[in-house]
Structure 1
Amino acid sequence: MLSDKRIILGVTGGIAAYKAAFLLRAFQKAGAEVRVTMTPAAHRFVGVDTFASLSKHPVATHIFPENQAAADSWTQHIEWGEWADLFIIAPCTANTIAKIAGGISDNMLTSTVLAARCPLLICPTMDGEMYRAPAVKRNIQTLRDDGYHILEPEEGYLASGLEGKGRLPETEDILDESSAILTRTVSEGPLSGKKVVVTAGPTREFIDPIRFISNPSSGKMGFAMADAAQQLGGEVTVIHGPVQLPKTEGINYIGITSTADLFEEMKHHADADVIIMAAAVSDFTPADYHGQKVKKDEAKETLHLQSTQDILQWLGQHKQEAQTLIGFAMETEDLVKNARQKLKKKNLDWIIANTISAENVGFESDSNTVTVINKQSTESFAGSKKKIAQKILALIFKA
């Protein structure tokens, strides 16, 4: 999707600005033409000549540069805004984020943002405490509400010497996200014209209005599967439990709370062409629900449970011809053996098995290690959940 595309790369004044040079080269290797615009503060980290030499284009920084005729410069942001297929700001500092959120256009980069006719991808990059600041959170949410794409920063060692969330994502991840954004515009692929339903996140089984039984699922794997399905052209609906994740433009999201809620929604979507059951569904629910908070001194020490509806098995029993049914299995032992039994018992086409026994994978993590299983084969993938989701669907649908 990047071949022959026209890309504006915006660079702001953060220590990660030097990485933008590598990003520029990566876009060029993918076949894109790149022009660079920089904020004045970015010059303190990387020189203009570096980007001019690499891009083979003049670098736009000032609306009225001293060495260029006003007639040639003051409308440059308009011309670039019409020229580009995609505008990426990497790194994007808290200062520039605030300016974009407020519509301020006091340099060439922010002016070009307002003039752009193409999608805008912003890569927030800063110290972890700054990223968690209420004002930054508020501004990023404003950008999302305005329809801009946000690529979350990575966790790790920061320039301050601290560990936290604020690192510029790897070049490959930025290229993947850029390609995905352009793909959404085209909406062509092996899932074009197909309805895809993905479940994600936990369910909650309430004991009383305050207390409930649940699990630590973040919904990240399910949301990644939904994004990957959209990139293949699918018309995607996500049915999700309580999660705190950014939502992708063009995907339909339906929130639920309990397993019973999820079952009711799935009955309405059981005719989808592809069903991906990535939610961590509660297997048990309290046998008795108390309408008022149970007082501590009145509570019984034994909680009686009953089984919830096995939604995946119900879908397997009602599976339609030509429908693709994909399940997930979280195991602590005998991973492949238990997953194969589940595949057969529940009449699945594919099952994605993973374990919580390994470090830095599974619930709440951004990474995972999975084994993709059908009746004939097994294949394992490791990496970020976003990349794994893309590999899973590429394998299943031969993308």
Structure 2
Amino acid sequence: MDKPKVVLGVSGGIAAYKACELLRRLTESGHDVRVVPTAASLHFVGAATWSALSGHPVSDEVWQDVHEVPHVRIGQEADLVVVAPATADMLAKAAHGLADDLLTNTLLTARCPVVFAPAMHTEMWEHPATQENVATLRRRGAVVVEPAVGRLTGVDTGKGRLPDPGEIFEVCRRVLARGVAEPDLAGRHVVISAGGTREPLDPVRFLGNRSSGKQGYALARTAVARGARVTLIEAGTGLPDPAGADVVRVGTAVQLREAVLKAAPDADVVVMAAAVADFRPAEYATGKIKKKDGEEAPALNLVRNPDILAEISAERARPGQLVVGFAAETDDVLANGRAKLRRKGCDLLVVNEVGERRTFGAEENEAVVLAADGRETPVPYGPKEALADTVWDLVSESLRSR
């Protein structure tokens, strides 16, 4: 079988060196990659490096090999175009259809999915001109991932850092796997919770659960690949940030509730995939609770935590907002799931069986997605990304009908 053809566009930012890692991941996973750098990017990484890593000749000129019409053919033959890093200048050129070099010509002729991974200083990313260009590209069907927050050039820190190359690769892999040029969640804002909340007992102990957060992260990654703007609220996962997601870190159920309520007002979809503690200690010990010889263990008094899923389902932050819940059950899985769906009032409920060696921390999952209208969609045992895509398929269908 022919290898998928990927065009890796590299524009002139300091993060150009990180694209070498993205190129390595693409080639080692069986993709045929053609690197198309801008002239400015060659000040950071030379053509010899790109040629050696890709196995293809590299040029930024439209006048080289003119008989092969590279400014047309490269885009026409591509299965995916990814630009990483995408500078503010490149986003502006792409949004306005300029074609003054080989990469911008390639973008104009490509009819395959296009992914932009921006990297620039915070002020440049937040400038109204850049935001308008990003909105234009997304409206046309391009996937523009949100930049990461972190150290920039010099002493600056903020939003604008190129996401981890491994995470950009995951976006590219998901976009290629779907094989759809038009992302169905483009223009949508989705809020996803992931992980397990921790309720402090004292400065060194907490009540928690076994949730790894991997299903929530799979939902975030697949949503980004389908064009959504993603806010990921994570509790205690320790997982790397998915490329393109705005990550909010919380610890307790109360903090998770605050973060969800803050993000929900402009969200089209809220997905509560986190395992939220039902109870928390009534009192917090400011010092470590110590065992004492001859004394019984101290009694632990618990109080109920807020029911976030029921609250956001009952009081939708905006008209037409969809709410998706998760239910981990150990027995009478479907019966308990149906009862929980009615009780919580959400639109979809993903129900799965859990136990000592089931689901938690695994890369696979099996579930049934229950809908408020009575439909039930079984998802066979497989990668958590497959379950995530099924959830987004159902969400996308519901959003189109509203």
Which residue, out of 22, 25, 30, partners 1:23?
30
* Contact 2:233–2:250 (Cα < 8 Å) also in 1: yes
With 312-321 and 253-262 compared, the bigger mean Cα shift is at 312-321
The count of residues paired between Structure 1 and Structure 2 equals: 284
* Contact 2:167–2:242 (Cα < 8 Å) also in 1: no
* Contact 1:204–1:214 (Cα < 8 Å) also in 2: yes
The aligned counterpart of 1:368 is 365
> Secondary structure of 2:345's match?
coil
Q: Is 1:384 the counterpart of 2:383 in the alignment? A: yes
The CA deviation at 1:316 is 1.6
The aligned counterpart of 1:351 is 349
Amino acid of the structure 2 residue aligned with 1:281: V
> Secondary structure of 1:23's match?
coil
The aligned counterpart of 1:203 is 197
Change (3 A) 1:250 1:86: closer
Alignment of 1:58-207 (within 5 A): 61=52, 76=58, 85-86=81-82, 147-150=163-166, 176-177=173-174, 179=176, 189-207=183-201
The CA deviation at 1:358 is 8.3
- 1:174-206 residue CA offsets vs partner (Å, 9 max, x unmatched): 9733527998xx8x5332222211000010001
Amino acid of the structure 2 residue aligned with 1:211: R
Distance, in Å, in 2 between the alignment partners of 1:239 and 1:62 is 37
Q: Is 1:283 the counterpart of 2:299 in the alignment? A: no
Amino acid of the structure 2 residue aligned with 1:363: F
* Contact 1:225–1:386 (Cα < 8 Å) also in 2: yes
Amino acid of the structure 2 residue aligned with 1:369: E
> Secondary structure of 1:368's match?
strand
Distance, in Å, in 1 between the alignment partners of 2:244 and 2:53 is 35
Change (3 A) 1:148 1:257: closer
The aligned counterpart of 1:312 is 309
The CA deviation at 1:321 is 2.8
- 1:26-83 residue CA offsets vs partner (Å, 9 max, x unmatched): xxxxxxx7559xxxxxxxxxxxxxxxxxxxxxx96599x9xxxxxxx9x736679x96
Distance, in Å, in 2 between the alignment partners of 1:200 and 1:207 is 22
The aligned counterpart of 2:95 is none
Unaligned runs of 5+ in 2: 10-19, 36-49, 65-70, 76-80, 85-106, 108-114, 118-149, 152-160
Alignment of 1:213-292 (within 5 A): 213-271=207-265, 272-292=267-287
Distance, in Å, in 2 between the alignment partners of 1:211 and 1:314 is 29
TM-score (norm 2): 0.59
Change (3 A) 1:330 1:230: same
* Contact 2:231–2:248 (Cα < 8 Å) also in 1: yes
Amino acid of the structure 1 residue aligned with 2:281: P
Unaligned runs of 5+ in 1: 25-32, 37-58, 66-72, 89-116, 121-140, 153-168
Amino acid of the structure 2 residue aligned with 1:372: V
The CA deviation at 1:86 is 4.3
Amino acid of the structure 2 residue aligned with 1:76: V
How much is the aligned-residue C-alpha RMSD, in angstroms? Answer: 4.4
- 1:342-376 residue CA offsets vs partner (Å, 9 max, x unmatched): 111111100001111485x4111111111111132
Distance, in Å, in 2 between the alignment partners of 1:371 and 1:179 is 26
Distance, in Å, in 2 between the alignment partners of 1:211 and 1:336 is 34
Change (3 A) 1:87 1:366: farther
Amino acid of the structure 1 residue aligned with 2:391: I
Which residue, out of 324, 327, 339, partners 2:325?
327
Identity in percent: 29
Distance, in Å, in 2 between the alignment partners of 1:204 and 1:277 is 16
* Contact 1:192–1:234 (Cα < 8 Å) also in 2: yes
Amino acid of the structure 1 residue aligned with 2:364: S
> Secondary structure of 1:76's match?
coil
Change (3 A) 1:263 1:62: closer
